């Protein structure tokens, strides 16, 4: 990451009325949460269709619950890293004109103090009942292979958006508005290959003039890079604090 690019990104942020951030698994990597598509990623050891699809849950709910209980146990042991805290710090500057859209389900942004968070892929902390539809925050305790709803004893599923499922409208709509209205979009730690999340990036570029400035923060260029006005390449746990420091 060059200082010039850091200075440019900080200058755009300084002038921004509204800021939107899109984060992916990379922002939690330095906390010890595995990403998905790295060589040692979650999708190396599991078939998405078996553990992250409604068909897979229908076929073998125990296998799916084992997968999510293992992820819950991992997240229980980790803490936010300086990148999460830096984003919470940025939010203090813009207040409700700052929106953090995350694909992550680990809850680490909230643990770091971020407030205006849109968890577009759901949360490991929550379950949803297939019978009475109640959504509950269950923390990160193990839930066994066939947890039952405490209200109606119906079958519970993780409150996670699986492949092939629509994002909850009450979360996705505000995310679209935030991407459309922002002056700067930070794209942090995502390979930007999963839609519709990744479509927020061209939405920010396609809004009324002047188009938003897109700043990519990642270890390497990604599908987002072609939309980025600048790339800050390095671990987000180091880059984000530097950006906050530069912003002053």
219 binds ligand APR (CB under 6 A): yes
Cα end-to-end span (Å), the chain: 19
Print the SS3 string covering 33-96.
Answer: CCCCCCCCCHHHHCCHHHHCCHHHHHHCHHHHHHHHHHHHHHHHCCCCCHHHHHHHHHHHHHHH
Among residue numbers 182 through 201, which ones bind ligand APR (CB under 6 A)?
Answer: 189-191, 194
218 binds ligand APR (CB under 6 A): yes
Q: Which of residues 30, 91, 159, 216 is near ligand APR by CB under 6 A?
A: 30
Structure tokens at 42: 């979650």
Q: How far is the CB of 191 from ligand APR (least distance, A)?
A: 3
Q: Which residues contact 203 (CB under 8 A, 6 or more apart)?
A: 176, 179, 180
**CA–CA distances in Å: residue 138 to residues 51, 60, 69, 126, 150:** 20, 22, 12, 6, 11
Q: How far is the CB of 152 from ligand APR (least distance, A)?
A: 28
Among residue numbers 86 through 105, which ones bind ligand APR (CB under 6 A)?
Answer: 103
36 binds ligand APR (CB under 6 A): yes
Give the separation between CA 133 and CA 131, rounded to whole angstroms: 6
Q: Which of residues 1, 8, 18, 41 is near ligand APR by CB under 6 A?
A: 41
Q: How far is the CB of 210 from ligand APR (least distance, A)?
A: 27
Cβ neighbours, 10 Å, residue 233: 15
User: Judged by CB under 6 A, which stretch of 3-11, 22-30, 88-96, 129-137 contacts ligand APR?
Assistant: 22-30
Active site residues: 121
Binding site for ligand APR (CB under 6 A): 24-26, 29-30, 35-38, 41, 103, 121, 189-191, 194, 218-220, 222, 235-236
């Amino acid at each position: 990451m060059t200082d010039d690019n850091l200075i440019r990104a900080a200058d755009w942020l300084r002038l921004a009325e509204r800021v939107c951030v899109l984060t992916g698994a990379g922002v939690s990597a330095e906390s010890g949460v595995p990403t998905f598509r790295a060589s040692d990623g979650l999708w190396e050891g599991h078939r998405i269709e078996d553990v992250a699809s409604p068909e897979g849950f229908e076929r073998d709910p125990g296998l799916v619950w084992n997968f999510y209980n293992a992820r819950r146990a991992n997240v229980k042991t980790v803490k936010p890293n300086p990148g999460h805290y830096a984003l919470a710090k940025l939010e203090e500057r813009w207040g409700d004109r700052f929106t953090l859209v995350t694909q992550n389900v680990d809850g680490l942004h909230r643990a770091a103090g971020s407030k205006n968070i849109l968890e577009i892929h759901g949360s490991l902390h929550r379950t949803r009942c297939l019978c009475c539809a109640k959504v509950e925050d269950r923390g990160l305790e193990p839930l066994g292979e066939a947890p039952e709803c405490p209200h109606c004893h119906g079958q519970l599923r993780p409150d996670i958006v699986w492949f092939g499922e629509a994002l909850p409208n009450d979360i996705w709509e505000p995310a679209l508005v935030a991407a459309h209205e922002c002056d700067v979009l930070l794209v942090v730690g995502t390979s930007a290959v999963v839609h519709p999340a990744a479509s927020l990036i061209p939405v920010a570029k396609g809004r009324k003039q002047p188009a938003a400035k897109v700043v990519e923060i990642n270890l390497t260029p990604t599908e987002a890079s072609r939309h980025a006005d600048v790339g800050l390449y390095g671990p987000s746990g180091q880059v984000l604090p530097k950006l906050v420091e530069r912003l002053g």
